[in-house]
Structure 1
Amino acid sequence: MNKEAGIFWVGGPAAAGKTTVSRLLARKHGFLWYSVDAHAFTHEQRAAAAGLHIMGTGPGEFDRRPMILEDVHALPMHTSVVVEGAFVTPTMAGVARNAVWLMPSREEQLARLEHRHPGGVHKDRVWGRNLVQSQLEGTSATVIVVDGQTVEQTLTAVEQSFGTTLESSPAARTTEDRQSLIRISNRQLAKQATERLQSGHTKDNGHHAVYAFDCECAHPTCNELVDLTVEEMRPLLAQAAPSVVSPEHSNLT
Structure 2
Amino acid sequence: MSKEAGIFWIGGPAAAGKTTVSRLLARKHGFLWYSVDAHAFTHEQRAAAAGLHVMGTGPGDFDRRPMILEDIHALPVDASVVVEGAFVTPAMAGVAENAVWLMPSRDEQLARLERRHPGGVHKDYVWGWNLVQRQLEGTNATVIVVDGQTVEQTLKAVEQTFGATLESCPAACTTEERQVLLRISNRQLAEQATERLRLGLTQQNWVFDCECAQANCSEVVELAVEEIPTLLAQAPPSIVSPAHSNLT
Bucket of the pairwise TM-score, normalised by the shorter protein? over 0.9
Distance in 2 separating the partners of 1:13 and 1:140: 18
What is the Cα-based RMSD across aligned positions, in Å?
Answer: 1.0
25-34 vs 227-236, which deviates more?
227-236
Maintained 8 Å contact 1:175/1:219: yes
Partner residue, 1:233: 228
Give the 3-state SS of the residue equivalent to 2:4 in structure 1. Answer: coil
The superposition leaves residues 182-241 of structure 1 with CA deviations (integer Å, 9 ceiling, x where unpaired) of: 000001011111111222323xx6xxx111000001111111110111211111111010
Deviation, structure 1 residue 126 = 1.0
Q: Which amino acid aligns with 1:227?
A: E
Distance in 2 separating the partners of 1:77 and 1:87: 25
Matched, 1:224 2:181: no
Q: Which amino acid aligns with 1:41?
A: F
Partner residue, 1:187: 187
Distance in 1 separating the partners of 2:2 and 2:160: 24
Distance in 2 separating the partners of 1:232 and 1:110: 33
Give the 3-state SS of the residue equivalent to 1:54 in structure 2. Answer: coil
After the TM superposition, which residues 11-26 of structure 1 pair with which residues of structure 2 at under 5 Å, given as runs?
A: 11-26=11-26
Maintained 8 Å contact 2:175/2:214: yes
Distance in 2 separating the partners of 1:165 and 1:128: 30
Partner residue, 2:149: 149
Partner residue, 1:174: 174
Distance in 2 separating the partners of 1:150 and 1:122: 24
After the TM superposition, which residues 88-237 of structure 1 pair with which residues of structure 2 at under 5 Å, given as runs?
A: 88-202=88-202, 209-237=204-232
Distance in 2 separating the partners of 1:151 and 1:98: 20
Deviation, structure 1 residue 2 = 2.8
TM-score of the superposed pair, with normalisation by structure 1: 0.96
Partner residue, 2:39: 39
What percentage of residue pairs aligned between the two structures are identical?
81
The runs of 5 or more residues in structure 2 that have no matched partner are none
Distance in 1 separating the partners of 2:191 and 2:47: 18
Distance in 2 separating the partners of 1:51 and 1:200: 26
The runs of 5 or more residues in structure 1 that have no matched partner are none
Moved >4 Å (runs of 4+): none
193-202 vs 65-74, which deviates more?
193-202
Distance in 2 separating the partners of 1:65 and 1:135: 16
Maintained 8 Å contact 2:3/2:78: no
Distance in 2 separating the partners of 1:186 and 1:130: 30
